[in-house]
Amino acid sequence: MRVQEGVSVLRTWIRTLPEALSRLWTGSETSSNSDKALQALPEENRLRPAPDALLDRIAPPPDWSEAVSALDTALRPWTTGSDDVPALVLMPGYHNAPPLLKLWAEVHTWTTIAPVPRPHIMQSAEAVESWFIERANSQTPWVLPRLERCYIRTPSGLAFVRRLLDHWTGGSLGRGIIGCDPHAWTYLQQVWAGAIPHCFVLKPFSANMLARWFRTLAELNRPDGAPPVSFHMADRDSPVLPERHEREHSTSTDVSGDEAPSPYLRMLAAYSQGDPNIAWLLWRQSLLTPADALPLNTEDAEQTAEKIGRAPDPKSEPRPIIWVPPWSDAEHPKLSHDATQRDTFVLHALLLHGGLSADQLCPLLPMNPYAVRHRLHHMHTAGIITQRGAEWHLTPVGYAAACDMLRKDAYLPDPHAT
Amino acid sequence: MGSDAVGMLRDVGWESVLGIILIVAAAVGLTLLIQRFVPRFAEQVPGRYRLPVLATVPLFRLVILVVTIGLIVPIVIDPTFENLVAFLGAAGLALGFALKDYASSLIAGIVVVYEAAYRPGDWVSVGSGYGEVQSVGMRSMKMITPDDTVVVVPHQKLWTELIYNGNNGTQNLQCVANFYLDPDHSAVHARQLLHDVALTSPYLQVTKPIAVVVQEKPWGTHYRLKAYPVDPRDQFPFITDLTVRGKDALRSQGFQPARASALSESAAA
């Protein structure tokens, strides 16, 4: 037992030493070798974020129809069955998250329903009662995309969601599918003692899957005859995505035949928790080109390489290069190192509820309202949250940053372990 | 440098003295460095790793002490079997008479490290004192009470007193909030309400169980709401949060607090 404890402590030191040391030495500005190399370049050759027109070509907004088809395939054994056993689909609930469940409902002409508005959940028993009567009388199948918007974390704000889940699993609401954020569901499993027999979770994207997907996106809008784009690390000139000819020789289902993914993609997959939308946004934000880069259909690799001081590979065919900074140098919205427990509480509440207004948030937290609003504006400035109407929501990259922080501080148990 | 006429002690020249001074200085410096650096390091790592990192401090101190003694003794005495037995016997006799309590605390300190009776970051109760263990030294441990008072507790308390460890090196420290209600109420409703009060606290560690213990007393009903905060250092804000929101929730549902005057009136009658 003592040996096991010693091994556990040793592992803790190995795991936490790099990050803690970096925090201790935050005050001293030390440039990485990549920064020094890039800063040594003339101004006109330094890398800049790629323009939107270029990004729309090499990293276009994804079409989620295939994801809806995959969801349909997973749900088909349940939807074609005769029983009304409820089904739950777990999907992250950040601002502008892909509405897969809603799109699936449109395809199958199921009704997308909204819960009782939050102000009525605690204050209007009539609104709650009429909502349940309406649902019980309706015979059409339905979809409720965001269960985390059906409660407020107060003693009196849990009654509606408990009653909803009881009626749903009891069959009195008819056939329905409910969607929920995985972290909110972990909390709701403590609130409601029941069980859902059919629970679907979107498979997280691994680094290899992200590499294949980004490559596919980059070639989606490639004009005929134009060379394929290469993506290289800005510090080491190593490829980030597998080249097209190597990808063609590996089968899509043969994971062992894939190249080892680059460290950048491994970090991206871990930080985004495998969420493809978050990974795509971070990927798109990271892409860099030289300041005076020509349009892709006229640029060649030699010109690009010469501009940033690197020799081109004489064996490769000329192709445009897009540069990707090392993960540690990439600019992501993140909380400052002096983030306090107040920030933790605000982020945790916004995560569990899928967004809240300041008036709804203040009673949930042991802070005065001025402190709450101050933290909200601070996080808004940092890009962690955004405001839609009166409500504050986590942005996609803010969702990743918030989950990372909350997990480290032990506020988020693993949703897939419960 | 050979054995002298006694046969145990070496000729200790200036080089040896300098070596001993350097070894002691290095040991003291390393100990101070660890005592200063490791707690700062523990504050920088994610919260869930703080306690395991703090727990390594007394371990490092013990290793440094053993290595230091192991380096100094061969310089002073010729480390043959007979010499070591004679030296340790004489040292033990001196310690036994003159430094009995100090030696007892030193030995207890080694046992504390081995048995992990308490570690930095643990919340312990020893005698009348309760607080967070700040450091575990050779002879004593320092703990800080909730009123920010430093209490020095000799390790030898381990032999004679009960050591109550609230979290035992983990993040799990159960907190209890007490409520006293007038006996004329629905206990089922009150119990569920207090359970939800804990469930909705932002400090709550949701994966740990919540319990409401109900006891009927002559003056009313005593509710003990038991739950775990995410961080043991938040135990008092957590209990405050439970108490404040619990009182608010109970009052809003029409529950009346217990009244001491009711008992005195009935006793007088």
Residues of chain B with Cβ-Cβ distance to A155 below 8 Å are 193, 196-197, 199-200, 245, 249
CA distance, residue A416 to nearest chain B CA (Å): 13
CA distance, residue B44 to nearest chain A CA (Å): 5
Predicted confidence band of residue A3 (pLDDT cuts 50, 70, 90): low
CA distance, residue A12 to nearest chain B CA (Å): 7
Contact of A413 with chain B, judged by CB distance below 8 Å, is answered with yes
Residue B186 confidence (pLDDT) above 90: yes
pTM flag (> 0.90): no
**Are the C-beta atoms of B136 and B157 separated by less than 8 Å?**
no
Burial of B195 (0-12, 13-18, 19+ CB in 10 A): middle
Closest CA to B153 of B137, B173, B169: B137
Phi, psi of A275 (to 5 degrees): -75, 120
Q: Checking DSSP bridges between strand A111-112 and strand A142-144, what pairing results, if any? A: parallel
- Sheet harboring A385-388: ordered strands across? A356-357, A391-394, A385-388
pLDDT for position B29:
94
Residues of chain B with Cβ-Cβ distance to A11 below 8 Å are none
Q: How much is the mean pLDDT over chain B? A: 87
- Tokens representing A321 are 């290069």
A160-192 b/e (C-beta count within 10 Å ≥ 16 → b): bbbbbbebbbeeebbbbbbbbbbbbbbbbbebb
Residue A12 confidence (pLDDT) above 80: no
Average pLDDT of span B151-177: 92
**Helix, strand counts (H, E) of chain B:** 9, 8
Residues of chain A with Cβ-Cβ distance to B44 below 8 Å are 19-20, 23-24
Query: What tens digit of pLDDT does each residue of A337-372 get?
Result: 677 899 999 999 999 999 999 999 999 999 999 999
Taking CA–CA distances from A366, the nearest residue in chain B reads B241
Burial of A314 (0-12, 13-18, 19+ CB in 10 A): exposed
**Are the C-beta atoms of B149 and B78 separated by less than 8 Å?**
no
Residue A172 confidence (pLDDT) above 90: no
In angstroms, how far is the first alpha carbon of chain B from the final one? 94
Q: Distance between CA A180 and CA B114 in Å, rounded?
A: 47
Closest CA to A103 of A122, A125, A75: A75
- Contact check, Cβ <8 Å, B230/A365: no
